[in-house]
Every structure is written in structure tokens, then in C-alpha cells.
Amino acid sequence: MARIFYDCEFIEDGTTIELVSLGAVDEAGREFYAVSRQFDAMRAGPWVRKNVLDKLPSSSDPVWRSRLQIREDFFAFVTAGDGEVELWAWNAPYDHVVIAQLWGAMPDLPRALPRFTRDLRQRWDDVGRPALPAAPDDAHDALADARHNLRKWEVIDARWHELGMADVEGRAGRH
């Protein structure tokens, strides 16, 4: 089972969620980072402007890509290995919608892409909320947050095993 930990930064107004950036890492150390050339910065609220937009690399950096290129590159990143893939994010629902919208409607997602993202925040609750690593100085940079999600997973998974919960899920073939 390959696990990919990711984070999306986005602009949302209660109706629309618009991708700004996407960062992902896997347990083998591979990383993916992209910034969309197609978001409307004028729609960003003060918090997003200060905490997200101000941290983006220069628009001349090659990480800036079209949504189509992000979709293709992220799909290649996710499907690079053999076997099943799990996507993991902290407070995952919005992140998953942002990813799914790269393909349009949910039925347009390729079969190789998971239909949901597992929620680190929920798993953290399940294991009794152990102390997690402090947020990085560059928090709200999608790649920094994806890396931090992997570090959080390591703490959460260790606690999961301490509690013997791996045996319970092991019967279902995963943990």
C-alpha cells in the first residue's frame, strides 16, 4: 500500500473552491509541488493573501503550471508505483474536492485515483490526540504542509500500533 500525504491551498467563498497550490509527499521521499496559473488572486480573502499568496514562489518558477498540467503531473506522481494508493490529508474533505475538480465532475476521475482522501485529523482523534510535531515555519506552503502531514502520520501510526489497533484493521488488509 502506497500512502501519499498532501495538502492543497485554495481560495473558497462558500460556493467555489479554487486551487492555488498542491504539495504531496510519499513515504519513499518523493515530492510533488505545483502552483496553479489559473486562480484569481483578487478573490482571495485577507487570510489567504497573507498566509498563502505571500509565500508563493516567483511566477517565473517552473512550479507554476496550468490546471491541466497539474492534473497530469499529479496523476503521474500518484500512479508512479505499483498497487493501491491511499491519499491522506489533514481535514481532508476540501482538499479532496480541489483534487477531484482537476478532472471536472467526480465521475470523470480516473479509476487509478482514490475516490476519497483519508483524514489524518480524524485518525489523530481515534488514537487519543497524541502530541504532534509543531507546525513548520513555512506553514501554509502546500509542500511544507504535506511534509508536516507525513510527520504527523508517523506519530499517529506509532500510537495506532501502541494501542494494538493495527491488528483490528489488519483483518481488513490495511491500517
Residue 116 lies in a domain: yes
Q: Is the pLDDT of residue 154 over 80?
A: yes
CA torsion angle 97 122 142 27 (round to 10): -110
pLDDT in tens, 42-100: 999 999 999 999 999 999 999 999 999 999 999 999 999 888 999 999 999 999 999 99
The parent domain of residue 147 ranges over: 2-170
Residue 175 lies in a domain: no
Q: How many domains does one find in the chain?
A: 1
* Distances, alpha carbon 61 to alpha carbons 19, 34, 45, 49, 57, in Å: 17, 10, 24, 19, 6
Residue 7 lies in a domain: yes
Residue 18 lies in a domain: yes
Q: How confident is the model at residue 172 (pLDDT cuts 50, 70, 90)?
A: very low
Report the CATH number at residue 33. Answer: 3.30.420.10
Q: What is the pTM of this model?
A: 0.92
Q: Is 7 annotated as a binding residue?
A: yes
Contact predicate 144/23, CB 8 Å: yes
Q: How confident is the model at residue 173 (pLDDT cuts 50, 70, 90)?
A: very low
Residue 138 lies in a domain: yes
Residue-level pLDDT at 1 = 87
Q: How confident is the model at residue 175 (pLDDT cuts 50, 70, 90)?
A: very low
Q: How confident is the model at residue 116 (pLDDT cuts 50, 70, 90)?
A: very high
What percentage of the chain exceeds 90 in pLDDT? 86
Residue 54 phi, psi dihedral angles, 5° rounding: -70, -15
Residue-level pLDDT at 120 = 98
Residue-level pLDDT at 168 = 53
Q: Is the pLDDT of residue 169 over 60?
A: no
pLDDT in tens, 17-33: 999 999 999 999 999 99
Q: Is the pLDDT of residue 148 over 70?
A: yes
Tell me the pLDDT of the chain averaged across its residues: 92
